């Protein structure tokens, strides 16, 4: 059978080229071309400009019919940091995040493979400027092939502990709020009569979403570096085990719809994370002006 030949008809809308990757199953869609260059002198200014003037890119690539509820994206932008080889803005189904570990791991490989940095073995260092700050990644490189990636994130610190919030449907709930590139509320699954490993995912997600809504409404969050970082990104439901023990722990993170350091006045630590990302494909997406669903829609 001869190969089918197909040619896209003349198109009167934007054309966006992307490469898709995943890190442990978490997807990342990296924009290669077709998106305007954001305005702004700093990465955070660019993030605000994209949110206010260029949100169509996020909707087109993250939502149906080209994306899905769990799609995650990376828009490469110029960085004002002299030490950065790569500047990036993160996007998802509900907006724009300030940090993403699985995306950084994928971007490390991408930067080496797409010639953004000169590869060297056994590890290629790359500084990635994220909205939360400069993240230092190290990409394993051997035999002409990139591999695992480890990275050192921005200073992580505890904003407050034992904060009581009134959560509709659940009553008074005590949470801790910490920052590691984004702010999260932490609460044990036992508080809701749930188990991280055996309870229905829907029940865990509902509880976490309710906590997030309550914290956003009742707790004032601030960041010592920028008010653009001062918002709750999500809630992490934990298994209640001692985080300092050597026993493995489990948690579920719900967001969107050992080095001593300091961050402002907060004692902080630098966290190192490692993992492996893989490529899943590349695509070119088009928008036709007469398509009633060209801007995307979301199925929950």
- HSE-up of residue 271 (Cα within 13 Å, Cβ side): 12
DSSP state of 70: T
> Would you please indicate which residues are annotated as catalytic (active-site) residues?
100
Judge contact between 245 and 262, C-beta under 8 A.
no
> What stretches of the chain adopt beta strand conformation (E)?
15-23, 26-33, 73-77, 86-91, 123-130, 133-142, 145-152, 156-167, 171-179, 183-188, 232-238, 251-255, 260-263, 266-269, 272-275, 277-286
**b/e per residue 162-195 (b: at least 16 CB within 10 A):** eeebebeebeebebbbbbbbbbbbbbbbebbebe
């Amino acid at each position: 059978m001869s190969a089918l030949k197909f040619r896209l008809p003349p198109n009167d809308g934007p054309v966006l080229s992307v490469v898709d990757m995943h890190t442990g199953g978490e997807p990342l869609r990296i924009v290669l071309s077709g998106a305007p260059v954001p305005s702004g002198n700093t990465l955070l200014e660019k993030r605000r400009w994209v949110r206010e003037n260029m949100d169509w890119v996020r909707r087109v690539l993250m939502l149906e019919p080209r994306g899905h509820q769990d799609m995650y994206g990376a828009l490469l932008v110029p960085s004002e940091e002299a030490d950065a080889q790569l500047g990036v803005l993160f996007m998802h189904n509900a907006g724009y995040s300030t940090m993403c570990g699985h995306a950084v791991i994928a971007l490390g490989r991408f930067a080496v493979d797409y010639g953004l940095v000169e590869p060297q073995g056994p590890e290629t260092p790359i500084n990635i400027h994220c909205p939360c700050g400069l993240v230092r990644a190290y990409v394993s490189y051997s035999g002409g092939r990139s591999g695992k990636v480890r990275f050192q994130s921005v200073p992580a610190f505890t904003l407050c502990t034992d904060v009581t919030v009134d959560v509709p449907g659940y009553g008074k709930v005590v949470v801790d709020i910490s920052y590691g590139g984004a702010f999260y509320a932490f609460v044990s699954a036992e508080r809701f009569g749930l188990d991280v490993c055996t309870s229905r995912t829907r029940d865990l997600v509902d509880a976490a979403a309710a906590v997030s809504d309550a914290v956003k409404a009742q707790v004032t969050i601030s960041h010592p570096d920028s008010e653009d970082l001062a918002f709750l990104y999500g809630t992490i439901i934990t298994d209640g085990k001692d985080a300092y023990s050597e026993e493995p722990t489990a948690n579920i993170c719900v967001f969107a719809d050992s080095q001593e350091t300091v961050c402002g006045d907060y004692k902080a630590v630098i966290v190192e994370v490692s993992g492996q990302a893989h490529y899943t494909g590349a695509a070119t997406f088009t928008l036709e002006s007469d398509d009633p669903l060209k801007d995307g829609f979301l199925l929950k």
